[in-house]
Structure 1
Amino acid sequence: MNKTKSLIFKSAIKVFSECGYRGATMDDIASNAKLAKGTLYYHFTSKEEIFNFIVEEGLQILQNEVGEVQKMNIGPIEKLIKICKLQLSFLYGYNDFFKVVMSQLWGNEQRQEYLRLKLRKYINEIQTNIQVAMDEGKIESSNSELMAYEFFGALCSAAIYKSIHTEKINLDDIINNTVQFTLKGFGIQI
């Protein structure tokens, strides 16, 4: 991503998280990025195009990290633990991005459909590890797709917990507790 697009990425996330999708304007995004409005329009034709760009780029960051875990020569449970820690660290590190994603999950507009499509791709990575663990008898057989969504949802809930508690909290404790709680639901003790 070039320097200008990086500025737009960061600015758009901030503006969308503070104003919501409907309240955000191209002027706000350009102003926050300290760019001329023409520069913004040179790269993007609409607010929805910017939204799709931040979804694509933001989730790609997480997807790249998960891809590295998938390449590791470790078992599916160890991969789930690493993915759990990665996702939580990502959600905490990109808290404004998380707010934008969560605010736009529901609805039938094109950007919301696009967001759900991108999230499905990520959740499929989780499902793959759950299915392998089931095939190896490490997790009781069940609906691996539903379990992957539950896994993702539990981690998102931990991020909501962190965003509500504004006082200083120990991120490592939250991550470790969430990993244990989530995997315990799958019948795995760590």
Structure 2
Amino acid sequence: MRKSKTSLIFQAAIDVFSEKGFDKATMDDIAARANVAKGTIYYHFKSKEELFLFLVEEGVEMLRDGVESKLLDDMHPREKIELILREQISFFGQYRDFCVILLRESWGAEDRQLEFRKMIRSYMSLIEGVVREGIEADTFHSVNAENAGSALFGMAAIASLHILLGKGEYDEEQLFSDLKRMALAGLVK
């Protein structure tokens, strides 16, 4: 499949899953939105679930790679947390529909939801590492790094989703400023 068709299917799937949710979305809907034959999608993905998990994996990988590419070893842990918050907020602003999918579809006990949470967990482990670094440098309070990682991810994710679903203006700078103040007030000694 040409890259352009892959991109069309990818974007169409994000649009349809975002609008209808996983359960109500159909491969017919995605094929129609991408303007490709349904068989073209099935050639590359065995099921709607496989396509969905591919989307999530690609999206979380984009988020993680984007953050990791900007983290520098010589940055102070506080600067790293600020960068993570800024990049996550920016990512959700840029990929609004993916944000909706990520947060709406991640809860539950279905296999896809459990797999989905594993993918998100890989990103949160990056945050945990920065928190541990800050604790070891005696910059951050001694907190459970896993709890802090999920809290920082969740704070930015839910605040972003609230704005995106409420159709309000997504002011990344204001959101970053508010969340940075709240997050670092709780972490920094």
Please give the root-mean-square deviation of Cα atoms over the aligned residues, in Å: 1.6
For structure 1, which segment, 2-11 or 160-169, has the greater mean C-alpha deviation from structure 2 after superposition?
160-169
1:76 shift after superposition? 1.5
Q: Which AA in structure 2 matches 1:36? A: A
Number of the residue aligned with 1:152: 153
- In the aligned structure 2, how far is the partner of 1:46 from the partner of 1:77? 43
Contact (CA 8 Å) 2:135, 2:142: kept in 1 or not? Answer: yes
Segment of structure 1 superposing worse, 98-107 or 136-145: 98-107
Give how far 1:72 is off.
4.4
Matching residue of 1:54: 55
The alignment's TM-score, normalised by the length of structure 2, stands at: 0.93
- Give ranges in structure 1 of 5+ residues lacking alignment: none
Moved more, 124-133 or 38-47: 38-47
* Counterpart residue number, 1:8: 9
Q: CA 1:168–1:103 in 2, change beyond 3 Å: closer, same or farther?
A: closer
Specify whether residues 22 and 158 from structure 1 end up closer, same or farther in structure 2 by C-alpha distance, changes over 3 A only. same
Q: CA deviation at 1:93?
A: 1.1
Partners of 1:62 and 1:87 within 8 A in 2: yes
Aligned to 2:167: 166
Which letter does structure 1 place at the counterpart of 2:134?
A
Counting matched residue pairs gives: 188
Matches of 2:74 and 2:59 in 1, distance apart? Answer: 26
Change (3 A) 1:109 1:179: same
Structure 1 runs of 4+ with >2 Å offset: 69-73, 164-171
Name which of structure 1's ranges 109-118 and 62-71 shifts more when overlaid on structure 2: 62-71
Distance 2:102 2:170 in 1: 23
* Pair 1:88-2:89 in alignment: yes
Per-residue CA distance 1:29-68 (angstroms, 9 max, x = gap): 0100111111111111110011011001111111111221
Structure 1: distance between partners of 2:23 and 2:79: 41
1:165, CA displacement in angstroms?
Answer: 4.1
* TM-score of the two chains, using structure 1 as the length reference: 0.92
**Distance in 2 of aligned mates of 1:81 and 1:168:** 22
Change (3 A) 1:2 1:71: farther
Structure 1 residue 12: Cα displacement: 0.6
The percentage of counterpart residues that share the same residue type is 35
1:35 is the counterpart of 2:42: no
**8 Å contact from structure 1 (residues 15, 28) kept in 2:** yes
CA distance in 1, matches of 2:119, 2:183: 23
Q: Does the CA-based 8 Å contact 1:69-1:83 persist in structure 2?
A: no
